[in-house]
Every structure is written in structure tokens, then in C-alpha cells.
């Protein structure tokens, strides 16, 4: 699989890291992005540029898209010079964007009409783990398609979970992003209360980390909050998009949620106050402003860096009770 010609569309915070991993592993890579500087950076490292999504898809075996919204994905796929126009029998499309499951299925059907194979393969774990190839990947599609692309996914990620048919990965991804957002909103409240109550913030961080209150979000986003940079390479508008997708999924299935609408309202308010492109951990600023404090610690990093070595990716097999 490593001798496949791969095309990558979307060289943003996550996509650029994933595409960089492919280059570092000697993959023949063609790239496409609306930002010419991002493209030039990859060309300087050995990638080929494409003038359109259609040109990219026609010249490779595997097309990967990693884009900011379902609307952008649809445009890149379906415009006259889009990916669909360049697909043919035997080619593969991997949608690595966080997108709507119904939209993933709709576009997958159009891909299959061209004789190609479609999978939705969103990632989870943060940009710092995408940079090292240690991120987690959810993969939705047939088992045969999954096994075909597993060698490439093993380069891009560490833990890879086959979730079922196309669309299932996207549903699971918005669920996990919702949980991440709930943790972030709760941490903003807990850290602010600790500050106002006079607790030492470094001690507070460690107390949470070694207790039942710990989470991956605390071990990453709390650090950039306490540094003051709040730079986790994820922004308010993306939170609103992702939690909105989760909220819509629940409403489509008549699940009467209570927390999700509250959290969505908190981040919509944050986006109105501080801008849609404000870093998402700065949601704590709503509470800092209300209490006239700054929630800061000492010695925390401005950005998270994954210092674990890249290990070969592997399939995560769900636990199931034996029927014997």
C-alpha cells in the first residue's frame, strides 16, 4: 500500500500534519489547498501540486480530504472540476474531515457510482498527535475496504478502529468531540473557581491530573489555559460546528438532551464575544471577565507537543463478551 500515489486536499491544522506524515514516509504525494503558501511548503519538501481537485483525483490512486465543514467537503467533491470528476474504478476516497454522517453517506454513494471506494476516516487526539502519527482514527466502510487502506492509516495514526459502514465513523467522531467540549467547559469552570477561591493553580492542575477528575482534555487543554496562550489549534467555530452536528444527530433520533444545548450555547456566546477564530480553550475568558481574574499557572507550555515516538499503527478490536 505504501507504493500508492496519494492525493491530499486540505492542508490546515490537522490536514497539514497528516499529509506531512505521508511525505516523511516516502509516499508519492500530490497536494491541493486554497492557501498557496501551504502548497508551496509541501512542494518544497517533495510533493506535487494540483491545479484542481479533479486533476488531483485523476492522477492518484487514493484521495484524502480533510476540510473544515460538510459544505466545503461537498463543494470540493461535486464542483465541475471536483474530486468526483476525477475518480474512476479502483480509486479510493478517504474523508478525514469531521462531517455529517448523512453527508458522508451521500457523497460515498456518488463515489461508488464512479466505481471507486469510499470511507469516512475522521481523526481524534489533537494536532500535536497528528504531527507525530500517533493520533487515533475511526474508519467507516466495508471490512474489505478497511483492510485495503489499513497500511496507510497505520502511517497516519496509532490506534485505528473499524466502526462499521460508511457514516458510522462520523457519528462516533462528533460524539467524542462533544465529550471533549463538555470536559473543556467544565474545566473552565473548575479552574476559575480554584483561582477565585485562592488555590495554587499548579497544585490544582496536579490534583485534577491524579484524581478521578482527570481526562485527556485536562492533560492537554488545561496546560495551554494555564500558560495563557490557549493555543490548541482548534477554534470556537469548529466547536460550534462539531457540537451542532452531535446535537442534530440526537434530535434526528429523538433523544432529549440537556447538556448539549447548554454547551452549544456557551460556545456560541464565546464566538460572539471573542470571534469565531478564537482558540476554543479561551472559552474560560467568559468566566475570567465575569470574575475579573486571569487563570494562569507557572511553567506550562504554550502549545502541546507529542514527545512519544511514532509507533506503528494498529487496529483496535472492540471488546465483546464471549458467547461460549
The three state secondary structure string of 10-24 is: CCCCCHHHHHHHHHH
The CA-atom distances, in angstroms, between 205 and each of 178, 224, 301 are 22, 12, 13
- CB 76 within 8 Å of CB 82: yes
Marked catalytic residue, from 91, 173, 195, 241: 173
CB proximity list for 100: less than 8 A, separation 6 or greater: 70, 170, 245, 248
Angle subtended at Cα 316 by Cα 98 and Cα 12, rounded to the nearest 5 degrees: 30
CA-CA distance, 135 to 320, in Å (whole number)?
24
CA-CA distance, 143 to 148, in Å (whole number)?
9
Dihedral (CA of 308, 303, 9, 115) sign: positive
DSSP 3: T
**Nine cell digits for residue 174:** 462528533
CB proximity list for 27: less than 8 A, separation 6 or greater: 2, 4, 6, 155
H helix or E strand, kind and range, residue 45: none
Task: Confirm whether 91 is a catalytic residue.
Answer: no
Strands (E), the chain: 5-9, 28-32, 48-49, 62-65, 92-95, 117-120, 123-124, 135-140, 157-164, 314-315
Helix (H, G, I), strand (E, B) or coil at 199: coil
Residue 312's CB: how many other CB atoms inside 10 A?
9
- By annotation, the residues acting in catalysis are 173
Amino acid at each position: 500500500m505504501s507504493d500508492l500515489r496519494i492525493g491530499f486536499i486540505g492542508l490546515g491544522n490537522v490536514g497539514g500534519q497528516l499529509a506531512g506524515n505521508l511525505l516523511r514516509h516516502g509516499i508519492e504525494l500530490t497536494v491541493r489547498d486554497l492557501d498557496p503558501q501551504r502548497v508551496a511548503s509541501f512542494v518544497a519538501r517533495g510533493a506535487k501540486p494540483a491545479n484542481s481537485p479533479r486533476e488531483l483525483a485523476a492522477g492518484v490512486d487514493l484521495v484524502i480530504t480533510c476540510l473544515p465543514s460538510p459544505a466545503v467537503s461537498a463543494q470540493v467533491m461535486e464542483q465541475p472540476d471536483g474530486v468526483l470528476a476525477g475518480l474512476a474504478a479502483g480509486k479510493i476516497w478517504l474523508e478525514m474531515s469531521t462531517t455529517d454522517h448523512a453527508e458522508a453517506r451521500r457523497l460515498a454513494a456518488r463515489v461508488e457510482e464512479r466505481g471507486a471506494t469510499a470511507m469516512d476516516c475522521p481523526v481524534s487526539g489533537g494536532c500535536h498527535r497528528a504531527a507525530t502519527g500517533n493520533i487515533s482514527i475511526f474508519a467507516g466502510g466495508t471490512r474489505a475496504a478497511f483492510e485495503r487502506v489499513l497500511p496507510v492509516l497505520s502511517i497516519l495514526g496509532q490506534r485505528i478502529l473499524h466502526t462499521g459502514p460508511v457514516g458510522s465513523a462520523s457519528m462516533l467522531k462528533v460524539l467524542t468531540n462533544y465529550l471533549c467540549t463538555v470536559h473543556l467547559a467544565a474545566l473552565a469552570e473548575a479552574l476559575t473557581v480554584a483561582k477565585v477561591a485562592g488555590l495554587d493553580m499548579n497544585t490544582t492542575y496536579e490534583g485534577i491530573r491524579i484524581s478521578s477528575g482527570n481526562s485527556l482534555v485536562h492533560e492537554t487543554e488545561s496546560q495551554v489555559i494555564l500558560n495563557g496562550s490557549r493555543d490548541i489549534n482548534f477554534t470556537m467555530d469548529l466547536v460550534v460546528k462539531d457540537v451542532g452536528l452531535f446535537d442534530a444527530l440526537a434530535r434526528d433520533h429523538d433523544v432529549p438532551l440537556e447538556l448539549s444545548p447548554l454547551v452549544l450555547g456557551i460556545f456560541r456566546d464565546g464566538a460572539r464575544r471573542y470571534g469565531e477564530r478564537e482558540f476554543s480553550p479561551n472559552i474560560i475568558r467568559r468566566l475570567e471577565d465575569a470574575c475579573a481574574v486571569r487563570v494562569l499557572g507557572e511553567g506550562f507550555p504554550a502549545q502541546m507537543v507529542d514527545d512519544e515516538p511514532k509507533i506503528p499503527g494498529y487496529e483496535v478490536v472492540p471488546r465483546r463478551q464471549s458467547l461460549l
